[in-house]
Amino acid sequence: MSTMATLPIVIPLAAAAMTLIVQRSLRAERVIGISASIASMAVAIWLLVKVDQDGAVVVAVGGWAAPAGIALVADRLAVLLLATSAVALLAVLIYAVSQKSTDEELRGFHAVYQMLAAGVALALLTGDLFTLFVAFEIMLTASYVLLTHRAGGTDTRAALTYVVIGLVASALLLTAIGLIYAVTGTVNIADLTVKLDAVPGGLRSGLGWLLFMVFGIKAAIFPLFFWLPDSYPLAPTPVTALFAGLLTKIGVYAMIRTQTLLFPSDGPVTLMLVIAGLTMIVGVLGAIAQKDIKRILSFHIVSQIGYMIMGLGFFTVAGVAAAIVFVVHQIIVKASLFLVGGLVESSEGTGAIDAVNGVARRSPWIAALFLPSALSLAGFPPFSGFVGKLALVEAGFGVGSWIVVGVSLVASVLTVFSMTKIWGGVFWGEPTGRRPLPVSRGMAVATASLVAAGVIIAIGAQPLVEYAERAAVDLMGEGTYRDMVMGVHG
């Protein structure tokens, strides 16, 4: 049972090593990569069901029980995001493999991809702050390579911004961990939930905000988001889709994990809600000003992060649960929107709104894939975005934070506006110019299955919301997490 919780990390690591061995044969690399992703997804879904029935799975790595050793903690929050990210990883990999000028022509694409998957899994499963840092480094180093491997000309320089920001954030994370260790003498999260209580208030909130800022850089909150819209659109479509869907959300996950467990608050945190509101509004205004599909969508990543921070800022079970639902919805919907954007680019040759017209008439199936995801992002019922936003608004009313809820609704209206800009510019109108290029079937199938996953989230909204609520109770309950982790021997 406990070995199952290590598999989401071990499978991709083993696959990364194996693809390097068979580097001569692209087909062998593909088979290994895709089967590893399928296996990881199967394990994650099995854990999703199992953890909900039997409670969290805790693994003491190397047989040293927490807090002396490193603990892997597969609780409800971790496995829910693990399963969601496994779905996104598999769909994006199939899309990448089916492209005509493939990204995998680069030596070692599959190895780097699986390393990224391992980093994501480790970040979600670890119960130890320092291992969280290591997981972030594994994930980010893989992302540096994926972002820059095809960059040419001025792109390398722009991608360097991303690497430099990543390094600064990592150094600050390390500093925060060092200071926390100096104060408490432990880096185990379950142990810290108790030991941080003894820390004087000012010092404690200083550490809390330092961690919030570090993960805020990774999650791209206002005012630390400026690197994201410049670097993400540079990458090839599957890589951008993966970054958009996963990487920033792992930052949000780390925020939810650390803030609820280590720095709990009795009521809504005003500063967090202010940051959330500004992130939503500035992100969506940035999106409105853009003229390229990928750049518009990149600014929307920033805007949507604000919703998650809002849910966290309420500091109630309902708020945190709504934030978790919103993260799940965003991982799927954001990745599928970028994949659709990539479909437009590869069939029309460009993603500039002014240059493309009438895709709805020429390739109606691309329009059919775009519509549900765009409506979901904007929060129309019955799509998954509506479920997340409704839960957030209800949680906001529950604590009486009327202003930020109002701001979030304004941001939603502006989201609709910028989605209609893509729809009106790209999909409507008379087709102009040359005939569309053919799009490979694998890309279409991968995109369609991710869009379908978004629709499934909407259909299964009730179980999802209930699951997220149980996950939030695990986080918010006094001592619940600690009791799960402590005293488990390997």
Partner 1 sequence: MSWTIAIMAGVLFGTGTYLVLQKLLSRIIVGLGLIAHGANLILLGSGGKPAEPPIIEAGTAGAYSDPLEQALVLTAIVITFGITALLLALAYRSWTEQGSDDVEDDTEDRRIARAVLRR
Q: Using CB under 8 A, which residues numbered 95 to 134 contact partner 1?
A: 130, 133-134
Determine how many CB atoms are found less than 10 A away from the CB of residue 185: 11
User: Which amino acid would we find at residue 78?
Assistant: A
Closest among 87, 127, 116 to 12, alpha carbons compared: 116
The residue (of 126 and 170) whose beta carbon lies closer to partner 1 is: 170
CA distance 150 to 146: 8
- Which residues have C-beta within 8 Å of that of residue 423, sequence separation ≥ 6? 370, 371, 374
Q: Which stretch binds partner 1 (CB under 8 A): 180-188, 240-248, 271-279, 385-393?
A: 180-188
The residue (of 80 and 250) whose beta carbon lies closer to partner 1 is: 250
Contact 339, 92 (CB under 8 A): yes
CB of 178 to partner 1, least distance (A): 4
- Which residues have C-beta within 8 Å of that of residue 186, sequence separation ≥ 6? 67, 192, 195
CB of 166 to partner 1, least distance (A): 8
Q: Using CB under 8 A, which residues numbered 386 to 405 contact partner 1?
A: none
- With b for 16 or more beta-carbon neighbours within 10 A and e for fewer, the 115-127 pattern comes to bbbbbbbbbbbbb
Select from 83, 90, 97, 159 the one that contacts partner 1 (CB under 8 A): 159
CB of 159 to partner 1, least distance (A): 7
Residue 137 interacts with partner 1 (CB under 8 A): yes or no: yes
| Residue whose token pair is 């996963």 | 246
- Which residues have C-beta within 8 Å of that of residue 135, sequence separation ≥ 6? 119, 120, 122, 123, 126
Residue 172 interacts with partner 1 (CB under 8 A): yes or no: yes
| Residue whose token pair is 């404690």 | 204
CB of 126 to partner 1, least distance (A): 14
CB of 134 to partner 1, least distance (A): 7
For 420-441, the DSSP string reads HHHIIIIISS---SSPPPP--H
Q: Which stretch binds partner 1 (CB under 8 A): 72-80, 170-178, 249-257, 413-421?
A: 170-178
Q: Which stretch binds partner 1 (CB under 8 A): 21-29, 33-41, 154-162, 376-384?
A: 154-162
DSSP state of 244: I
Write out the H or E segment, with its range, that includes residue 486.
none
The residue (of 174 and 452) whose beta carbon lies closer to partner 1 is: 174
Collapsing DSSP states into helix, strand and coil, what is residue 117? helix
CB of 181 to partner 1, least distance (A): 4
Q: Using CB under 8 A, which residues numbered 209 to 248 contact partner 1?
A: 230
Select from 21, 49, 168, 288 the one that contacts partner 1 (CB under 8 A): 168
CB of 143 to partner 1, least distance (A): 11
Select from 27, 54, 182, 438 the one that contacts partner 1 (CB under 8 A): 182
Maximum C-alpha span of the chain: 69
Contact 389, 330 (CB under 8 A): no
Residues that bind partner 1 (CB under 8 A): 130, 133-134, 137, 141, 144-145, 148, 152-154, 156-160, 163-164, 167-168, 170-172, 174-175, 177-179, 181-182, 185, 187, 230
